[in-house]
């Protein structure tokens, strides 16, 4: 299964790179005509959850947070940088909804990270092992945490 996913990732990456003039890398600074961009490429979606097809996204690594254990998570860092757009918005899990009061990342062990969305009445979180980003849309982000299911954060209105 891992070999199949790696092969799909390589093919999708090759297609994405061949169809764009900008090349994105998680380790290199790439120059464009207008400016230099530091970005990390990542995949959202899941092949085992219907309706959440795999997509390639990018995120800036310019102001990324380094946790106390040295871990950097540029993809989730985008939510930390944009958290003012989500604080005051809604955290939804199943039939439960609450107002978002904070978004944080905490270190776990030597190289892990826990992404936490804190609400007034409940929190939702995932680690790099048990959770994924299923979809990013203009006003919301959809996540999945193993054992907890699908949950959504909506930007404030």
Q: What is the pLDDT averaged over residues 110-117? A: 92
Those residues with Cβ within 8 angstroms of residue 87's Cβ, 6 or more apart along the chain or in another chain: 100, 101, 102, 103, 156
Number of domains the chain contains = 1
Residue 65: pLDDT over 80: yes
Query: Residue 34: which of 17, 22, 20, 19 has the closest Cα?
Result: 22
Q: What is the DSSP letter of 19?
A: T
Spatial contact of 98 and 91, defined as CB atoms under 8 Å apart:
yes
What is the structure's pLDDT at 37?
A: 61
**How many CB atoms within 10 Å of residue 82?**
13
Question: Is the pLDDT confidence value at 98 over 80?
Answer: yes
65-80: average pLDDT: 84
Percent of the chain whose predicted confidence (pLDDT) is above 70? 76
Does 124 have pLDDT greater than 70?
Answer: yes
pLDDT band (50, 70, 90) for residue 41? confident
In which domain, by residue range, is 72 found? 2-154
pTM tops 0.95: no
pLDDT at 4 over 90: no
Residue among 89, 156, 100 nearest 124 (CA): 100
pLDDT at 21 over 50: no
Give CA 53 to chain center in angstroms.
15
Q: If you compute the radius of gyration of the chain from its CA atoms, what whole number of angstroms results?
A: 16
Nearest Cα to Cα of residue 61 among 42, 37, 89: 37
- pLDDT at position 139, please? 93
pLDDT above 80 (res 145): yes
CA 87 to chain centre: 17
């Amino acid at each position: 299964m891992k070999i199949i996913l790696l092969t799909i990732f390589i093919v999708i990456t090759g297609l994405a790179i061949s169809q764009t003039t900008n090349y994105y890398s998680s380790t290199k600074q790439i120059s464009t005509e207008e400016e230099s961009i530091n970005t990390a490429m990542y995949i959202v979606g899941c092949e085992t959850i219907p309706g959440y097809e795999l997509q390639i996204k990018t995120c800036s690594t310019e102001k990324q947070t380094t946790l106390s254990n040295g871990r950097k998570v540029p993809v989730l860092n985008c939510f930390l940088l944009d958290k003012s757009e989500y604080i005051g918005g809604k955290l939804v899990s199943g039939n439960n909804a609450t107002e978002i009061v904070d978004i944080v990342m905490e270190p776990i062990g030597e190289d892990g990270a826990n992404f936490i969305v804190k609400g007034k009445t409940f929190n939702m979180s995932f680690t790099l092992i048990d959770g994924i980003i299923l979809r990013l849309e203009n006003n919301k982000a959809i996540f999945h945490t193993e054992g907890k299911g699908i949950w959504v954060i909506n930007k404030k209105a």
